[in-house]
Amino acid sequence: MVTPPNRCSRAEVLRACLSLLAGWPVVNLNEMRDILLRRVTTDDFELAESARAGDMALVAACLELEQELFDAEFATLEHLLALCQSGEGTLDERLHALPRPTFAAAVPDLYALGWVN
């Protein structure tokens, strides 16, 4: 009896590919090697190797979205820190010392960053 080749689910292939690329291009190659050795298995390499063009397009779209989200979150953090740049103390102390209109401008940033429930 002939059995068809085992084709893994697209989700498994995507997970493996994203595991291999996690942190890229932010971390250097030595750090990347250490990361890969700790969290990527031989099975992950085999899954990533089985990726087709459509899988790689999905990986690229995920990485692009991840970068867009990172950029937006970083811009929010920059805005919040610009509002709180004067004064001394912790961020909490600086926020409490802000004039009401400036504090009102900072509140959406705090929510967007997930620092307020």
pTM: 0.66
d(CA 103, CA 100): 5
Cα-based torsion angle of the residue sequence 17, 18, 21, 24 in order, rounded to the nearest 10 degrees = 160
Q: Residue by residue, what is the 3-state secondary structure of 64-108?
A: HHHHHHHHHHHHHHHHHHHHCCCCCCCHHHHHHHCCHHHHHHHHH
pLDDT reported for residue 6 = 54
Are 17 and 59 contacting, i.e. CB atoms less than 8 angstroms apart?
Answer: yes
Neighbours of 106 (CB within 10 A): 20
Can you give the residue ranges of every domain in the chain?
1-51, 68-117
Residue spans of the chain under pLDDT 70: 1-8, 23-33, 35-36
Q: Which single residue is written with the structure tokens 């890969």?
A: 36
pLDDT reported for residue 74 = 95
Total count of residues recorded for the chain = 117
Token pair recorded at residue 12:
């498994």
